[in-house]
Structures are given as structure tokens and as C-alpha cells.
Amino acid sequence: MDSLNKLREDINLIDKELVKLFEKRIEKVIKISKYKNENNLPIFNQNREEEIIKRNIENKEESTKLLIKNFLKYIMDVSKDVQRDKVSQNKEVDVINYKKCKPIVGFQGEKGSFSEQALLNYFGKDISTRNLTEFEDVFTAIKSNEIDYGVIPIENSSTGGISDIYDLLRKYGFQIIAEKCIKVDHNLMAVKGTRIEDIVEVYSHSQAFKQSSDFFKEYPNFKLIPYKNTATSAKFIKESGSKEKAAVASKEAGRVYGLEILKSNINNNKNNYTRFMIVGKDLEVNDNCDKVSIIISTPHRPGALFNILRYFSKHNINMLKIESRPIINKPWEYFFYIDFEGNLNDEKIIKAVDLIKEESSYFKMLGNYKSDSNLN
């Protein structure tokens, strides 16, 4: 049997060869990033990655397939980071000037929704849009290149973060390239000629019901029925034609579907805002970006999260938000979604991010973008 020293010497030789091969791979990656930059191609290619993994685990022992898959995914993640660094060094991306490329932008819900309002406020009206049924449909449409960007709600000033969106951001690994804050006023509406006394059922998104809970305490006989989207609810009421049904939605949705507003601004908080994210496949950074979003998880040991959060204080970085989500199949362990001020071209931010990566058991960059503080 080989001695421990002999085995370690063998590993040292293997590592040396691995480093040489890795350096060769990075040389090719840099050339590919240049080609993609010149031809306006996305950095991330899901089909290509799946093909590489499938080809390399084919005919391998079941016990090693997962190890090889994880190894390849790590190498490809590093390669994508190198490509993004090269793109950001050689190309100044103008996040605002979309009119030149006329992208297709998707949102969840129907016309008249708050998501569509956020989309139009950010991109303008001269844009191709696509409305989709579920939040995840927005992400799958980006993945399949059916749309270039998606607009999704992530947080409300009254009811907090939307957990499903945090989970989808981690699952698909797309980048936040902008945010837009929209003032949200909820309105009770029904087909023309309806009286409040006629209403039996009210349809809307569950968030709208939560944000208008004080109003509905005055009408305990109403049956509140959660629906996909506020605007979808308005459309449903229009199509039903029933005076026993009502919806909670925006005034714009009422206008689009020809409904009569019975009670306006029924939300509890009169300064009620929803923060929407504009999501795309690739990291887009310019000098105007002042907000960074990341996902991390920590080793399951005392002080692990503190060790990471101390880097914000140490580098004088303002942390804006932290939100936790449970890790499936790992009871009492969590992913942490963190927003903080900064620009990824700033040396201080780069250093802090590198240190956070080292301390984290999982790390994902979610984006660097311009914050929207225009609450009006």
C-alpha cells in the first residue's frame, strides 16, 4: 500500500496538471468573451452547459456522476465570472438606453396590472411586451430567449418581501439590472350598476387583500377569493358580468376592463409602494449602479452569519436589507438575500464581495443596478 506521503505527491502532480489545463481553458474563455462582446451574444448559455455536463458524465459510475457534475458547474461558473469581468472592462453598458435595441419585455398578469405599469414607467411605451400567466413563466421565457427582460414584484412597503420571487431568483440565477418603485392604490370595483350591498365574492391577489385588511373588516360577509393577479381579477369580473362579484385592482385595470370603482384607495397604508425588479440573463454594470444584491448561505455553525455581516461594517458599506428563505431538505438552515449600497467597479466593494464569497458555503451575485428612490 502506498504511503500517505506518496499519495500526497501524486495529488500534487495531478493538481499541477489541472492548473495547467485550467489556465488553457481560461485563455479560450477570454477569447470567447471577446467574440460574444463583439457579436452582442449572452454570456450564459443554458443548453451549452447542459450539453457539456451530459457528455462528460455519460457512461460514468453513478457514484461519481454528481461529483463530476458539481466540478464542471464550478469551473463553468468561474468561466462566466471571467467573461463578465472582461465585458465590464471593455464595454460600458447603458442600462437606460433600451430604445436602440427594442427588447421584448415580459410581465406576469394582464394589461392594467401594476407590473405592466412598472414596465411602462421604466422602459417607456415604445416597447414590445408580453404578458404571462405565472411568475415562473417570466423566468422560463427569459431562459428560452422568448423575452429579453422580465418585470417582477419583489417587495411591498406594507407586507414585505414576496417569498416566491426570492426562490425563483435563486433557482434561475438571472441578474437584476434595474428596479422600479410604483405607488400602489387598491380599489374595489365591479360591473356598472353594482351596489356594495350586492357583493358576495371579492377576487384579487392575496397581497392586495393583506394590504387592504382594515377595509374588509368593515364587510365581514364578503368572501375573499385569492386570484392570480389584481388585473386578472378585474378581467374575470368583467367577463362574469355578475353584480355579486367584485375585484380589488388598480384604477388603470378598472379603466381597461370598463369596471365601476365603488371604493377607491382602500389599502391600509396610504403610502403603499411595491418594488419591482427588471431581470435579465447577464450582469450589466455601469457607473450609475449604486445597489448590489447577492444570495448567500453560511456554514451551519455559531457566528457564521456574523462573520460575513462584519465585512459591511469593516468596509463602511451600508447594508439595506436582509431576507431569509429556508433551504429545502435542511431544516433550520437558510439562504440570505442581501441588498447593499455599492458599485462592482469600486475596489472596496470588490474586496468585500470576495471576502463574503470566501466565508459563504453558497454565493450568488444577483445584480448591480441603479436604485429607484423616486417615491411619488
Q: Kindly state the DSSP code that residue 146 receives in the 8-state scheme.
A: S
Distance from C-alpha of 214 to C-alpha of 267, rounded to nearest angstrom: 8
Do residues 189 and 203 lie in contact, with contact meaning Cβ atoms separated by under 8 Å?
no
Domain with CATH 1.20.59.10 in the chain: 4-90
Domain with CATH 3.40.190.10 in the chain: 187-263
Distance from C-alpha of 161 to C-alpha of 138, rounded to nearest angstrom: 18
The crossing angle, in degrees rounded to 10, of helices 230-240 and 114-123 is 120
CATH of domain 187-263: 3.40.190.10
Distance from C-alpha of 267 to C-alpha of 236, rounded to nearest angstrom: 21
Helix, strand and coil percent figures for the chain, each rounded to 5: 45, 25, 35
| Percent of the chain predicted with pLDDT > 70 | 91
Query: Does the domain spanning 104-183+273-369 belong to CATH 3.30.70.260?
Result: yes
Which fold does the domain 4-90 belong to in CATH?
Chorismate Mutase Domain, subunit A (1.20.59)
Residue 107 exposed, middle or buried by CB count within 10 Å (0-12, 13-18, 19+): buried
Question: C-alpha distances in angstroms, 323 versus 272, 360, 366?
Answer: 20, 16, 14
Residue 89 has a pLDDT of 54
Query: Over 60: is that where the pLDDT of 311 sits?
Result: yes
Residue 100 has a pLDDT of 40
Query: How many beta carbons lie within 10 A of that of residue 56, not counting itself?
Result: 14
Query: Over 60: is that where the pLDDT of 187 sits?
Result: yes
**In 3-state terms, what secondary structure has residue 353?**
helix
- Kindly report the pTM of this predicted structure: 0.66
Domain with CATH 3.30.70.260 in the chain: 104-183+273-369
In this predicted model, what pLDDT tens digit does every residue of 4-61 receive, in sequence order?
Answer: 888 888 888 998 888 888 888 888 888 887 777 776 666 656 667 778 888 888 888 8
Distance from C-alpha of 348 to C-alpha of 195, rounded to nearest angstrom: 60
Residue 96 has a pLDDT of 39
Residue 3 has a pLDDT of 84
Residues with a catalytic annotation lie at 274, 276
Q: What is the dihedral of CA 164, 167, 169, 172, to 10 degrees?
A: -120
Distance from C-alpha of 83 to C-alpha of 185, rounded to nearest angstrom: 43
Query: How many beta carbons lie within 10 A of that of residue 108, not counting itself?
Result: 25
Residue 46 has a pLDDT of 61
Do residues 297 and 361 lie in contact, with contact meaning Cβ atoms separated by under 8 Å?
yes
H or E segment to which residue 315 belongs:
none
**In 3-state terms, what secondary structure has residue 10?**
helix
Query: Over 80: is that where the pLDDT of 344 sits?
Result: yes
In this predicted model, what pLDDT tens digit does every residue of 97-120 receive, in sequence order?
Answer: 443 457 899 999 888 889 999 999
